[in-house]
Chains A and B, each alone.
Chain A
Amino acid sequence: MAKNNANPSKLLIAAGGVVYMFLYIPLAVVVLFSFNDSKLNAEWVGFTWKWYDKLFQNGDILHAAANSLIIALISALLATILGTLAGLAIYRFRQKWLSALVLGPIAMPDILIGVSLLLMFILFNVTLGMTSIILAHVSFCIGFVALAVQSRLSGMDQSLVEAARDLGATPFQAFRLVTLPLLKPGIIAGGMMAFTLSIDDFVITFFTAGVGSSTLPLEIYSMVKIAVTPEVNAVSTLLMLVTLVLITALSRISPTVLRN
């Protein structure tokens, strides 16, 4: 098999290092200025916690964070159930139409999903709010769960199911006692992926949100549209921290999922 025993040259390491800096410096700037005792994100004045204090007194942001959490939990739950079913169906019956429906929302630019759902919700008289956001989030999360489940299924030893059947298990028993436990890591990973995608989503939420259903990304958007304040840095830093914790948990459960 292919062996890579070449070491990267010094030039390559230097170039790679520059790209890593490009990836991290902007985020480092955000974190750094969240502790800066100045209203301008321009130069370092001194250390402070005050932007975090202000953040926890900001009712709008706390309300939006709660909304984000509720939406992400419900969307992830529904998407996990539907996505697992879809993954099983596509794997076992090779249904092209379902595969197209599941992957469609992943391939399309977010804005198209957002505006077409907005159009439908209004025409069908669905009030824009938490429900419409959840309906929208589930539709683009199903595909990611289905993919995680499918990749787990294709790595599974099918002879285990056959053995269970030979030993007298009904198809349903074989599924419940053999397939499902083996699928569990894939399902959990898919569900966590759906949760992260939902809590992070801005574009689709932007078009499907109504009055009082603002989420954290929407709140950040309206804040930065008005002015750049260190409070945004503080909320951004906290968000990064939360994501970091989630990713660590995800990598413990299923190390392969992150790479897909």
Chain B
Amino acid sequence: MPNRAERLSRILLSLPPGLYLLLLFAVPSLMMLFASFRFSGEYGGLAPWYYIEDGQFTLDLTLENWQRLFESDIYLGLLLKSLAYALATTLICVIMAYPLALMIARSKKRHRDLLLLLVILPFWSNFLVRIYAWMIIFSPQGALTAALNAVTSSLGLEPITLMFSGTAVITCLVYVHLPFMILPLYANLEKHDHRLLDAAQDLGANRFQCFWLITWPLSLPGIYAGAVLVFIPSLGIFAIPDLLGGTNGIMIGNVIKQQFVESRDWPFGSVLSLVLTAITLVLVLLAAKLGSPAGENNGKK
């Protein structure tokens, strides 16, 4: 019975946040979509999207910006490289998160909260502080570079620099996003029924078989959930390649930032942003499908 009071409360509750987000999330996104078909202005920004000549109204839109994306290999190559960096980050995160998540899940119940808190704590320190930490570690005067070069010189190899490289970027991407993999993976592993492993052991499975045939397939939904949380933000990042990547390590986020801030070519910046949005949407939908109850059941069979 949707009476008047019910309808009123419905409007009072949903209108303020709805209107706010419509104006500050939906509208800017649509304006960006529109901007991708406009010409850029003489001094950066955007040119008017129509003109009136002799009382006649004419649209002034173009597909030029989208064509530019495919004209050279630069942008598609950069996009591929960014996808590769994000993929490498995600895989390394899985490899590093798995033992820790499993260790916490198999610890005594009263220790688990503390062990989890220790995972979250560094994640709460400022994003830039965490990048800065790696700038110190990778610095050419740093102890790590010195130690590695002592090894390389004893082997008669060229000295190496860690700073301003893809390696530095991926290491920091892993560092910043690792908790996003550990937490969902732990949430999954914690729910496993240990009697399955006991049964497998009784039936003669060794430890490797127990892991590979039971724990691993059961944990896939947790890995998918973590992968989305790591992959999507890694893909769009610009601060890490900006500070640690040098010219070799730049990613698509840097080019987007450049188009909006330095070269002020907003239409092309919008095109690149929309490509990133499209990739994000596909990944979110894919993850929703993999993480759905049906997907989880497949994991449990």
Binding site for B on A (CB under 8 A): 1-8, 12-13, 15-16, 19-20, 22-24, 26-27, 29-30, 33, 40-43, 81-83, 85-86, 88-89, 92-93, 95, 97-98, 101-102, 104-105, 107-113, 115-120, 122-123, 135-136, 138-139, 142, 146, 171, 196, 200, 202-203, 207, 216-217, 220-221, 224-225, 228, 232-233, 236, 239-240, 243-244, 247, 251, 258-259
**CB within 8 Å of A: which residues of B?**
5, 9-10, 12-14, 16-18, 20-22, 24-29, 31-32, 35, 45-46, 96-97, 99-100, 102-107, 116-122, 124-137, 139, 141-143, 175, 178, 183, 190-195, 197, 232-233, 235-239, 243, 253, 256-257, 260-261, 266, 269-270, 273, 276-277, 280, 284
Closest 6 CB pairs of A and B: A109-B236, A26-B133, A15-B99, A16-B103, A86-B17, A116-B28
In contact, A202 and B142 (Cβ under 8 angstroms) = no
Query: Do A2 and B192 touch (CB < 8 A)?
Result: yes
Are B190 and A4 in contact, CB atoms less than 8 angstroms apart?
Answer: yes
Partner pick for A102 among B21, B32, B194, B253, CB 8 A cutoff: B21
- Asked if residues A109 and B280 are in contact (CB atoms below 8 Å), the reply is yes
Q: B14 to A15, Cβ gap below 8 A?
A: no
**A30-B132 contact given A22-B96, A243-B126, CB 8 Å threshold:** yes
Q: Which residues of B contact A101 (CB under 8 A)?
A: 17-18, 21-22, 25-26
CA gap between A2 and B190 in the complex, in Å: 9
CA distance A1 to B195 in the complex (A): 10
* Beta-carbon contact of B126 and A16 below 8 Å: no
Q: Are A85 and B17 interface neighbours, CB within 8 A?
A: yes
In the complex, what residues of B have CB within 8 A of residue A92's CB?
Answer: 10, 13
- Looking at chain A's contact residues, is the secondary structure mostly helix, strand, loop, or mixed? helix
Q: A135 touching B24 by the CB < 8 A rule?
A: yes
Cα distance A41–B141 in the bound complex, in angstroms: 8
Chain A nearest CB: distance from B193 CB in Å? 4
* CB–CB A117/B256 < 8 A: no
Having A20-B100, A112-B280, A139-B24, one finds 10 other A-B pairs with CB under 8 Å, namely A6-B194, A12-B102, A23-B119, A27-B122, A30-B129, A89-B14, A118-B260, A142-B17, A220-B132, A240-B129
Q: Which residue of B lies closest to A23 (CB)?
A: B122
Distance between Cα atoms of A232 and B107 in the complex (Å): 38
A89-B35 contact given A4-B194, A7-B106, A82-B20, CB 8 Å threshold: no
Q: Which chain B residues lie closer than 8 Å to A136 at the CB level?
A: 24
Once the chains bind, are A220 and B128 in contact (CB under 8 Å)?
Answer: yes
